[in-house]
Structure formats: C-alpha cells, structure tokens
Amino acid sequence: MKSTPSVTVFGASGHTGRFVVAELMRRGWAPTLSGRDADKLQAVGAELGLKDLRPATIDDPASLDRALFGASAVINCAGPFADTAGPVVEAALRARIPYLDVAAEVEANLDTFERFAARAQDAGVVVLPAMAFYGGLGDLLATAAMDDWTAADEIAIAYGLSSWEPTPGTRAAGQVSRQRRDGRRLVFSDGRLELRSDSAPLTDWTFPAPLGTQPVVGEVTMADTITIARHLPSTEIRSYMTVSAMKDLSDPDTRAPSATDDSGRSSQTFVVEVVVRAAGWSGGPRRAAATSMP
C-alpha cells in the first residue's frame, strides 16, 4: 500500500502557511504543521482535522530535525526570512530533502543563494527560495517570454495590483529590508546589483486589459530579480509597481487582508506582465502576462 507523501510546513499557522497547508491537502499530500507557537498549531490542526503537529524554533536545531523527520520536503512560510531561512535550510540539508520558501525579502533571497547554493548542489538537495507571487511568478513569466533566447538586454516586470493589503509578516519583512539597506534602494543594472540613494523614478505602464495604463514606481527590485539573475542572462532587470499599491504598502493605516470567500482569500486582484528585449531581434520585444482580474 502506497503511503501519502508528507510535507512539513514551517510557519503553518500564519497567513500564507494556512494557504499552503490547504493546497497540499487539496492535492492529496499530508501536511505536517510546524512553527514556534504550539497553541496556534493546535488551533489550525483542530480546524483542518490534522494531527501531525510538530512545534519547532529556529534556535533549536533538534526541534527542526524532529519537524522534518520523515517528510518529503519542507516549505518555509515563516518570516522574517532573514531569520528563519538559514536554520530551516540547514535542517533540510541534514534531512536531505528539498527546501522551498515564499520569501519576498530580497536580501534574504541573496543570503540563501550565497550561503547554500554550492552546498545544496554538492549534497544533491534542491533549495528554492522566493517561490511565491513575488519571485516565482515573475520568474516563470520571464522564462516563458525568453523562450529560446540565450540572453536579453532588458527584462522588465510590471506589477499591477488593485490594492496591497500587507499582512503583519509583510510589514515585519519590509522593516528588516529597510534596516539592511539603510534607507537606500536596491537596483539591478549593468548585470549587477547596486544600492542607490536617489529617488525611484515615476512613469506609466500600459498593462493588459482590464487594467490599462497606470502610473507606476520604477526600479522597485523584488525577489524575482534575484532568482531571474541566477539563470537568465540580462544586462538590466527592472521592476515596476503601481503607485496606488506602493501607497497602500507605505501607509501604516492600511488594513491587513480580510477573507471574502470560504478559502480565506481576499479581494485583491492583479495583473503581472513581463517584457523582454534583445538588441538585434527583428520581431520586437517578447511578452508574457498573468492576471487574476475578471
């Protein structure tokens, strides 16, 4: 009799962790719920009918080893990832199982690649940071748009959001990134990342229907810049975000996302478009887009 594959979700009681657990269950996988708060794990387990609860903390490697024991993979949903990614990756390497996270923290993504890329390759263990909306989605679209091109002069990713209702975790992660940048902004230009002290440029972007032309903030480096730069050679990687969404994010009074259906999803919608350009290509730029808007 074939057993049900198990995946440990670290940070299972958080906003994103609960979505990951629900999706694993929908796909027939057996989630193991892990995280630092045993009471919250107990509440989620009771709600979903799950009994494999394994509290663990990043400062206790033995507890992480217990949380990952017998799992086929671990998905880290607990931020700030500047704190959690390293210890959970270490545990995944000890267990020799794939590691994925949903980190949108650019510096944490860089740390994961710099600290663990060679070790993971030597161990034959998959380590995938930033596999979520900010990261994985833009990377997939850029890869699709590139198609058979071996290099590009520019990869541009534009995020059109109906609104941005940040979770407490998003706000905490943003604070960590701002502290590490010391008020500067991170830009990928001329094939490398650099910190700049000037203001981000403002421009317009014409998104696919139904969003249309919107004012956007330019050079808003997101997690997808880090993952794209690892495997798609491009001189410039530029990101754009609608001005209204950036205002939502910076406003301390913007509410956290609230559920509008039984799945717990909010009403926020999006259009993400990637445009890839290469000199000498007579067919013009290549495009790929994804949308949740009607």
- Fold matches, 6-128 and 133-291: no
Q: Which amino acid is at 38?
A: A
The 10s digit of each residue's pLDDT in 7-65 is 999 999 999 999 999 999 999 999 999 999 999 999 999 999 999 999 999 999 999 99
DSSP state letters, 24-53:
HHHTT-EEEEEES-HHHHHHHHHHHT---E
Partnered with residue 74 across adjacent β-strands are 8, 99
Q: How confident is the model at residue 267 (pLDDT cuts 50, 70, 90)?
A: confident
For residue 238, count other CB atoms closer than 10 A to its CB: 20
Task: Report how far residue 170's alpha carbon sits from residue 166's, in angstroms, rounded to the nearest whole number.
Answer: 6
CATH superfamily, region 133-291: Dihydrodipicolinate Reductase; domain 2 (3.30.360.10)
Q: Are 41 and 34 in contact, with CB atoms under 8 Å apart?
A: yes
The 10s digit of each residue's pLDDT in 99-148 is 999 999 999 999 999 999 999 999 999 999 999 999 999 999 999 999 99
Q: What is the pTM of this model?
A: 0.93
Check: CATH 3.40.50.720 for 6-128? yes
Helices 223-231 and 106-123 cross at an angle (nearest 10°) of 40
Residue spans of the domains in the chain: they are: 6-128, 133-291
SS3 80: coil
